[in-house]
Amino acid sequence: MNAYVYRQATDADAAALAAIARDTWVETFGTLYPPEDLAAYLTAKYGAEIQRAEIADPRTRYFLAEQDDALAGYCMVGALAMPVDDSEAVELKRLYVTEAAKGAGVAQALMDMALAWAREQGAPAIYLSVWENNERAQRFYRRYGFVDHSEWDFMVGSVADRDFIWKLNLRPR
């Protein structure tokens, strides 16, 4: 196996990005929801045309990790869409890696890219939403200095998950 290669997503990545996004989300959360809610959520969030439009959005960046010409992870960062009153901040919307890539530093490299981009944009802070029971993700984000900000209901069909909203200040105080 070759080393991981990191880069920004392009239009040509839309189908592969949609596939890894769908697969890693189902791997992580798929057993938590009734099949009809899961199917509706996946249809609404993950499809080549949806990812193509997000890649084209100048306020959004997708960063990819590849190994042997296959995607091993990705993250999405962009305009804040959570219920937070901080118009200049950005949001880490997604950060997922395949099971095979976990523990190999892929998530850290993607997070570093997202934080660098947020700082380049002049964002004073970056927010993220993490499921209350996703302890592995919470440990990862805490290592970066994210702190509790608030919480909200993350909807998957008719199911409301309790998600924590965490914040990382990007400017020195």
E strand or H helix at 150: strand 147-156
Q: Percentage of the chain surpassing pLDDT 70?
A: 99
Tell me the backbone φ, ψ of residue 92, rounded to 5 degrees: -85, 105
Residue whose token pair is 């959360």: 29
Mean pLDDT of 51-80: 97
Domain-by-domain residue ranges, the chain? 5-169
What was the pLDDT predicted at 1? 64
Question: How far is 106 from 157, CA to CA, in rounded Å?
Answer: 30
Report pLDDT digits (tens) over 83-123. 999 989 999 999 999 999 999 999 999 999 999 999 999 99
Name, in order, each residue with C-beta under 8 angstroms of 59's C-beta and a sequence gap of 6 or more: 78, 79
> pTM (2 decimals)?
0.94
Name, in order, each residue with C-beta under 8 angstroms of 159's C-beta and a sequence gap of 6 or more: 32, 33, 34, 37
CATH of 5-169, one of 3.40.50.450, 3.40.718.10, 3.40.920.10, 3.40.630.30: 3.40.630.30
